[in-house]
Amino acid sequence: MPSAGYDTDLDQVGPVSIKILVAGGFGAGKTTLVGAVSEIRPLRTEELLSEPGMQVDALDGVEQKTTTTVAMDFGRITVRRDLVLYLFGTPGQHRFWFMWDELALGALGAVVMADTRRLADCFPSVDYFERRGLPFVVAVNCFEGARRFHPDAVRAALDIDPGVPVVLCDARQRSSSRDVLVTLVEHAIRLISDDEVLSPT
């Protein structure tokens, strides 16, 4: 961490930023949800396709074979002038896991988008957030034509903790997507309050 002092000015003018991840399988509605509640923009990141054991820090010159970019969904909601919420739509495929640790670092929590026609697609995300102890909610995106399931049925199928909220949503609707985020923030508040009861400091 930077030493206090040289960045004092930034402390006074900078807004508080809160990070929320939106995960889930391909086509489960991550982009739709981020776009419904925020001004969505692409954010590019790189994937290093290095051979195992290769010294990636010592690349000579530009190795065009070793890098490709990956586009993430990036949304911003200005809550107040001094409080900004950032949404990151994380690529759900296994090969993008290298990004997850960084994205999860310091995040408030995550929304896992689930499509009941391909429920297994969200297993890796659920596993990841459970293992990491990051608060998350499951948002079942109700696609037209897909059979409706009760949230409890989805919970049972995913085998998640009874405390984890499972909500139905229509990611195309701003109000519905907003409610998912509210559910996540309230869930995080509950978890923090529980922690404080257990370990008062």
Partner 1 sequence: MTHEDRRLDRDAGPVVRPYALTGGRTRPAGESIDLLALVASTEAGSVGDLFLEPEYLEVIRQCRQPKTVADLASDLNLPLGVVRILLSDMREHGFIVIRQPGSKRLADPRILKDVADALRRL
Backbone φ, ψ for residue 17 (5° rounding) = -115, 140
Residue 45 interacts with partner 1 (CB under 8 A): yes or no: yes
* CB nearer partner 1, residue 17 or residue 120: 17
Residue 54 interacts with partner 1 (CB under 8 A): yes or no: no
What is the nearest approach in angstroms of partner 1 to the Cβ of residue 139? 14
Q: Which two tokens stand for residue 97?
A: 């896991």
CB 76 within 8 A of CB 87: yes
CB 108 within 8 A of CB 40: no
Residue 103 interacts with partner 1 (CB under 8 A): yes or no: yes
CB 130 within 8 A of CB 116: no
* CB nearer partner 1, residue 44 or residue 147: 44
DSSP E strand stretches across 49-119 = 67-80, 83-89, 109-114
* Maximum C-alpha span of the chain: 58
* CB nearer partner 1, residue 2 or residue 200: 2
Residue 42 interacts with partner 1 (CB under 8 A): yes or no: yes
Give the DSSP H/E element, type plus range, for residue 18.
Answer: strand 16-24
The region of 64-72, 119-127, 149-157, 158-166 touching partner 1 under the rule CB under 8 A is 64-72
What is the rounded CA–CA span in Å between residue 15 and residue 84?
7
Exposure of 111 by Cβ count < 10 A (0-12 exposed, 13-18 middle, 19+ buried)?
buried
Residue 85 interacts with partner 1 (CB under 8 A): yes or no: yes
Binding-residue total with partner 1 (CB under 8 A): 63
Q: Which two tokens stand for residue 114?
A: 């689930």
DSSP, collapsed to helix, strand or coil, labels residue 156 as helix
Among 22, 23, 33, 37, binds partner 1 (CB under 8 A): 37
Among 27, 70, 164, 173, binds partner 1 (CB under 8 A): 70
Residue 200 interacts with partner 1 (CB under 8 A): yes or no: no
* CB nearer partner 1, residue 108 or residue 113: 108
Residues lying near partner 1 in the complex (CB under 8 A): 1-2, 6-7, 9-11, 13-14, 16-19, 37, 41-49, 56-57, 59-65, 67-71, 74, 76-77, 79-80, 83, 85-86, 88, 91, 95, 102-103, 105-106, 108, 174, 178, 181-182, 185-186, 188-189, 192-193
